[in-house]
Amino acid sequence: MFAVIHLPDFPLQALLRFQPALRHEPTAILSGEGRRAAVSHVGPMGSGDQPPGGAPGRCALPRDPDLCPPGRAGLSGPPGSEHQSPGVTPGMSAAQALAVCPALQLLAPSPDAEREADALLLTAARALSPTVEHTAPGCCTVDLTGTDDSRGAQFTSLRADLGACGLDARIGIGPTPFVARLAALQASPELQVTDTGEFLAPLPIGLLEPTPDEERLLGDLGLHTFGSLTALPRASLADRLGARGEELYARATGEHLRPLQPAPLPTRHLATRTFEDPVEVLEPLLFTLRRFCERLAAETGQLGGGTGRLALMLTLEDDSTHARDFDLPEPTADADRLFAVIETHLCSLHTESPVTGLTLEAFPARRLQLQEGLFDTGLCDAPLFFATLGRLAAVAGSGNVGTPRRADSHRPDAFVLDPPAAQVSILRPPASPAPHGPLLRRLRPPARATVELTDARPSYLASPVATGGITVLRRPFRSSGDWWSADAWTREEWDIRVGDGLYRLLHVPDGWFVEGTYD
């Protein structure tokens, strides 16, 4: 059995995936240049309640690569799929289309968007079978031989996955790729051909993709449907039309079987988009990146591990670029988590000029194989932990978030902030003597103070922190360091009591300061 997954009005669907605001507007794709420009695909005429492709203006059947003679456009779909109401139809010029529907939004095809949608389609199809052929833009054929028979749920799930990514798919299942493709055109949204003869008989002869001469000849003979062709003796048709007649007969009976050409697995997981107009605000960027993350997460997830690293590059209008790599705490195939990492970064980013293009590459990685210590302090949600750290860095500054550690210096208040660790080992027994005294609450910077001395000892304090008579509790502690450098320091600390508070008084060459409160 074969399945064909078809995205009706593919260029329009691919484009609207990145411009959801236009989904409820009458839209059409204008292909060609200059005076030859014409409407090629028409979206829902502003009905608003149908998904893109749900009411195609005219169903353009993607050509089977080895069935259709080259140099001929795609064939029209069956009559039932045509847009019956008067309005914009494919082939109209821009002026004609706008005359019929003044509110029509004429859009240029977007190769970037179509490439993205195609990649997403292939990724989704590989969930059914490893043998997937990229038959045409917006259409792929899947060889279901040897796969599980309970496919109904798989197809529903596949359509739901594509629907979540903004694509409306039709699925046809048949004994040959050709029959499956015809079934996909008739499907709404799924159609499995059980009786091939009964299904094919009423179809118009044009769907056999004959050459114009053949079509004219068959019409002259009164053969307008598949059934009328297969009613003839096969040998007579071969005598009249030669090998080509034999081939058309085989197609009309559903016997024609061609080998699939499996699409190669992507070697790089890359998503690119160039904006028509430079982007100055964040929302369009985030929306595009969200779509990219959906596809890249699905692609790398199929490899079994997920994404371990992301590389983002923004192209700016002044021809400069902004590049940033994101190392993820652990590989993930969750689009939300990938997106959260990028969103956190972009929310704090200001560029000198508008963005004209962006590229996102995902690097697949194997899942971490590590044995955590039984008594280690781990994380219940590592991606969230590091995403939160990223957001905190955006709020407070990256230099103000981290795990404190004493710096390798004798300078008071010397510390460094390390990136928080995913795993914290078990608490070791203290090597140093038990600590004495309360902890110090430091004033950063220290509060300047006026100190009155009596017999070279502080006796009265006036400062924003405390004011009053001083009781000296401990003798001054003198220290100095870095005397060999320009950053030399020397200080004298007094532990004092003023009122109910215990303070550390600091005497440096600049004067007196209250360094903190013992609390």
Partner 1 sequence: MPPATEQVVSLRRLIEGRFPAAPARERRVVPTGVPGLDACLGGGLPAGALTELVADVPSAGCQSALGSLLHATRGARQRVALVDAAGCFDPNGLDDDTLAHLVWIRCGSLADTWRSADLVARDPNYAVVLIDVRGLSLRELQRTRDAVWVRLQRAAEQAGTACIIQSDALVVPNAACRVVFDQPLAADALTQPRAELLIALNPGLQRRRTAYPGRAACLEAAAS
Q: C-beta of 445: minimal distance to partner 1 in Å?
A: 10
> Binding partner 1 by CB under 8 A: which of 35, 36, 268, 428?
428
Cβ 413 to partner 1, closest distance in Å? 7
Q: How far is the CB of 3 from partner 1 (least distance, A)?
A: 42
Decide: helix, strand or coil at residue 453: strand
Nearer to partner 1, 106 or 508 (CB): 508
Q: Which of residues 198, 381, 452, 482 is near partner 1 by CB under 8 A? A: 381
Looking at 6-14, 133-141, 260-268, 435-443, which segment touches partner 1 (CB under 8 A)? Answer: 435-443
Token pair recorded at residue 447? 């509060």
Measured CA to CA, the distance from residue 96 to residue 98 in angstroms comes to 6
Q: Specify the stretch interacting with partner 1 by CB under 8 A; choose among 46-54, 100-108, 231-239, 382-390.
A: 382-390
Q: How far is CA 150 from the centre of its chain?
A: 30
- The correct pick among 137, 284, 357, 412 for binding partner 1 (CB under 8 A) is 412
Q: Which two tokens stand for residue 123?
A: 């990724």
Q: Is 389 in the site for partner 1 (CB under 8 A)?
A: yes
Residue 368 binds to partner 1 (criterion: CB under 8 A): no
Q: Residue from 35, 36, 350, 436 that binds partner 1 (CB under 8 A)?
A: 436
Count of residues near partner 1 by CB under 8 A: 64
The rounded distance, in Å, linking the Cα atoms of 133 and 125 is: 9
Q: Which residue's CB is nearer to partner 1, number 204 or number 402?
A: 402
- Dump the DSSP string for 77-108: --GGGS--SSS--TT--HHHHHHH-TT-EEE-
Order of strands across the sheet that contains 190-192:
132-136, 139-143, 2-6, 170-174, 190-192
Q: By CB under 8 A, tell whether 472 contacts partner 1.
A: no
Tell the residue number behind the tokens 């990223």, with chain if given.
Answer: 390
Indicate the residue among 47 and 471 with the shorter CB distance to partner 1.
Answer: 471
- Closest distance to partner 1 from the beta carbon of 497 (Å): 6
Q: Tell me if residue 484 falls in helix, strand or coil.
A: coil
Q: Tokens in use for 375?
A: 């008594």
CB of 466 to partner 1, least distance (A): 7
Q: Does 421 bind partner 1 (CB under 8 A)?
A: yes
> Quick one: which of 240, 442, 448, 478 contacts partner 1 (CB under 8 A)?
442
Q: Which two tokens stand for residue 377?
A: 């302090």
Contacting residue, 274, 400, 479, 480, with partner 1 by CB under 8 A? 400
Q: Does 481 bind partner 1 (CB under 8 A)?
A: no
Q: Which of 425, 450, 479, 480 binds partner 1 (CB under 8 A)?
A: 425
- Is residue 404 near partner 1 by the rule CB under 8 A? yes
Residue from 84, 150, 371, 432 touching partner 1 (CB under 8 A): that is: 432
Measured distance CA(12)–CA(28) in Å, rounded? 7
Applying CB under 8 A, which of residues 21, 95, 153, 427 lies at the interface with partner 1?
Answer: 427
Measured from the CB atom, is 231 or 384 closer to partner 1?
384
| Part in contact with partner 1 (CB under 8 A); list of ranges 233-241, 361-369, 375-383, 453-461 | 375-383
SS3 331: strand
- 347 makes contact with partner 1 (CB under 8 A): no
Kindly report each contact of residues 147-152 with a partner whose C-beta sits within 8 Å and lies 24 or more positions away, as own/partner: 151/3
Would you call 144 exposed, middle or buried from its count of C-beta atoms within 10 A (0-12, 13-18, 19+)? Answer: middle
The stretch among 242-250, 328-336, 437-445, 484-492 that binds partner 1 (CB under 8 A) is 437-445
Q: Which CB sits closer to partner 1, 233 or 437?
A: 437
Position 468 contacts partner 1 (CB under 8 A): no
Neighbours of 346 (CB within 10 A): 20
Q: Which long-range contacts (CB under 8 A, 24 or more apart) does 510-514 make?
A: 511/448, 511/449, 512/448, 512/449, 512/450, 512/451, 512/458, 513/446, 513/447, 513/448, 513/449, 514/443, 514/446, 514/447, 514/449, 514/461, 514/463, 514/465, 514/466
Specify whether the backbone of 192 is left (phi greater than 0), alpha (psi in -120 to 50) or beta.
beta
The Cα-based distances of 10 to 34, 60, 201, 343, 427 in angstroms read: 23, 9, 28, 29, 59
402 contacts partner 1 (rule: CB under 8 A): yes
Q: Which of 495, 505, 506, 513 binds partner 1 (CB under 8 A)?
A: 495
Give yes or no for residue 471 binding partner 1 (CB under 8 A).
yes
x/- map, 120-159, partner 1, by CB under 8 A: ----------------------------------------
Q: Which one of 216, 224, 457, 474 is in contact with partner 1 (CB under 8 A)? A: 474
Q: What is the dihedral of CA 378, 379, 383, 386, to 10 degrees?
A: -80
Tell me if 46 contacts partner 1 by CB under 8 A: no
The amino acid at residue 68 is C
Phi, psi of 160 (to 5 degrees): -65, -40
User: With binding defined as CB under 8 A, does residue 478 bind partner 1?
Assistant: no
What residues between 244 and 263 interact with partner 1 by CB under 8 A?
none
Structure tokens at 198: 């009964």
Per CB under 8 A, does 518 bind partner 1?
yes
| CA distances, 371 to each of 206, 329, 374, 491 (Å) | 63, 16, 9, 49
Q: Which residues bind partner 1 (CB under 8 A)?
A: 375-377, 379-382, 384-385, 388-389, 391-392, 395-397, 400-406, 412-415, 417, 420-421, 424-428, 430, 432, 434-444, 465-466, 471, 473-474, 495, 497, 499-503, 516-519
